[in-house]
Amino acid sequence: MGPVIAVVVVLALLAVIVAWGSMARRGPVGPPALTERDRALRAQAIAAARWTTAHDEVDGVTRVLLRRACTGPDGRPEVLEERVFETFPARDPLWEARFTEAMAGARFRCQYLNNEEGLG
């Protein structure tokens, strides 16, 4: 029984080594790495990210949002962070007043956050 176990262990070890070797030759999985210049531009864009207001409706609930965004590599805005500032029912009879007040509060909060981060 001892030699059989030794053979099984050796075969399993060889299978692991072969699998690891084939994975190592394939290289990293995912998008190609950014060049040094692209990494510097990306870091600069993230450092210049600003907080802005946004809103949406999800499942009948209006959400007023704070978003920290920068310009992405493709030139489009890229959201780095999103926080829900306030929510209320989309069918609320006082929706317009609540929305106006929430957006004013969210704008004030964005201004505060941008000033705190030295962007304002």
Q: Is 94 helix (H, G, I), strand (E, B) or coil?
A: coil
Q: Looking at the predicted structure, is the pLDDT value of residue 1 above 70?
A: no
Give the pLDDT of residue 90: 95
Residue-wise pLDDT for 19-51, tens only, equals 777 766 666 666 778 788 888 888 999 998 999
Q: Model pTM? A: 0.66
Report the range of poorest mean pLDDT among 11-20, 87-96, 98-107.
11-20
Domain boundaries, the chain: 36-116
Distances in Å between the Cα of 111 and the Cα atoms of 5, 18, 52, 94, 118 are 69, 57, 8, 26, 10
Mean pLDDT over the full length of the chain: 88
